[in-house]
Amino acid sequence: MKHDDHGFLIAGNWKMNGSQELFSQFQQVFADGIDGVSVVVCPPYTLIRQESHNVISVGGQDVSEQASGAHTGEVSAQMLCDAGCRYAIVGHSERRVQQQENDDLIASKLIAAINSGLTGILCIGESEQIRESGQLFSFLESQLAAALKQLNKQQLQQVVVAYEPIWAIGTGNAATEQQVQEVHGFIRDYVCSLDMEVGSAMQLLYGGSVKPSNASALFSLPDVNGALVGGASLQPDTFYEICQLASEKR
Ligand code: PGA
């Protein structure tokens, strides 16, 4: 195992897709689990069922920053736990853009998730415009700092960072291996500057057009510990293949 003793984490983000039927198909395909790989599926809230989580872990695609009360349409971290979730995605770029979620709100959501015992999958990533303007690293650092700086060591241990360049999401064009390693190394250094031990062990996921044809090369990179998969997580066999490729890299 290359970086620590946490192994690989492969998370599928179904976005606003899927059905009970699809969830059952996943249960069948993943019935025996995958050696050395933690597999997580983040379906829409309506598909989260306590009884369905025996092999794959389940996560929310989002979480409310509030604990309870008059927040129509929201789902709290405690409710996700109650439904059997172990993870929650926070700060996905689609929510940052479509729901205008800012760094402060995302930081609050991350703390809410962590404090309920969930592992927060914090998404960060730049637009093409930011990359071209030469502000890539200062931008990513500001996203990281806003979400992570106020966390104590124990809280930080419940975070996974997913680097998802916006220009690579859903386009079929993943970032190059060099681009991914460069950013992942930067993220690792940043988290190590907060806490060396947590930074060295933190699972860093890459997301953005991950598919069987590029997964193996991405999983070989020193600071890539898994993937956040969108489109390719909707086909059980394809997602299984990606998880299997991670298993081979252990
Ligand atoms: P994609 O999506 O794999 O379809 O590019 C990734 C994501 O949005 O998490």
Give, using CA atoms, the residue closest to atom 1 of ligand 1: 230
**Averaged confidence pLDDT in the chain:** 95
Please check the confidence at residue 9 and state whether its pLDDT lies above 50.
Answer: yes
Give, using CA atoms, the residue closest to atom 3 of ligand 1: 230
Mean pLDDT in residue range 95-103: 98
Please, what is the angle between helix 20-29 and helix 236-248, to 10°? Answer: 40
Distance 172 CA to ligand 1 centre (A): 9
DSSP assignment string, 142-205: HHHHHHHTT--HHHHTTEEEEE--GGGTTSS-PPPHHHHHHHHHHHHHHHHHH-HHHHHH--EE
Q: Could you tell which of 87, 93, 123, 209 is best to mutate to test the pocket of ligand 1, judged by most ligand atoms within 8 Å of the CB?
A: 209
User: How many Cβ atoms sit within 10 Å of the Cβ of residue 49?
Assistant: 13
Point out the ligand 1 atom lying closest to the alpha carbon of residue 208: 5
Least confident residue range of 25-34, 81-90, 152-161, 210-219: 25-34
Each residue of 234-246: pLDDT tens digit?
Answer: 999 999 999 999 9
Give, using CA atoms, the residue closest to atom 9 of ligand 1: 230
What is the torsion angle, in degrees rounded to the nearest 10, for the CA atoms of residue 75, residue 148, residue 144 and residue 61? -20
Q: Is 155 exposed, middle or buried, given 0-12, 13-18 or 19+ CB atoms closer than 10 A?
A: middle
pLDDT for residue 1: 39
State how beta strands 8-13 and 226-229 pair.
Answer: parallel
Ligand 1 environment, Cβ below 6 A:
13, 164, 169-170, 207-210, 228-232
Side chain identity at residue 3, one-letter code: H
Please check the confidence at residue 4 and state whether its pLDDT lies above 80.
Answer: no
Residue 90 β-bridge partners: 122
Each residue of 48-79: pLDDT tens digit?
Answer: 986 666 678 999 999 999 999 999 999 999 99
Each residue of 189-215: pLDDT tens digit?
Answer: 999 999 999 999 999 999 999 999 999
Q: What whole-number distance in Å separates Cα of residue 174 and Cα of residue 247? A: 21
Q: Which structure tokens are listed for 148?
A: 């992570």
250 band by pLDDT with thresholds 50, 70 and 90: confident
Q: Could you tell which of 14, 98, 210, 242 is best to mutate to test the pocket of ligand 1, judged by most ligand atoms within 8 Å of the CB?
A: 210
pLDDT for residue 81: 96
Point out the ligand 1 atom lying closest to the alpha carbon of residue 228: 9
Point out the ligand 1 atom lying closest to the alpha carbon of residue 94: 8
Please check the confidence at residue 44 and state whether its pLDDT lies above 80.
Answer: yes
Distance 193 CA to ligand 1 centre (A): 29
Is 141 a known active-site residue? Answer: no
Secondary structure percentages of the chain, helix, strand, coil, to 5 = 45, 15, 40
Mean pLDDT in residue range 80-95: 97
33 band by pLDDT with thresholds 50, 70 and 90: confident
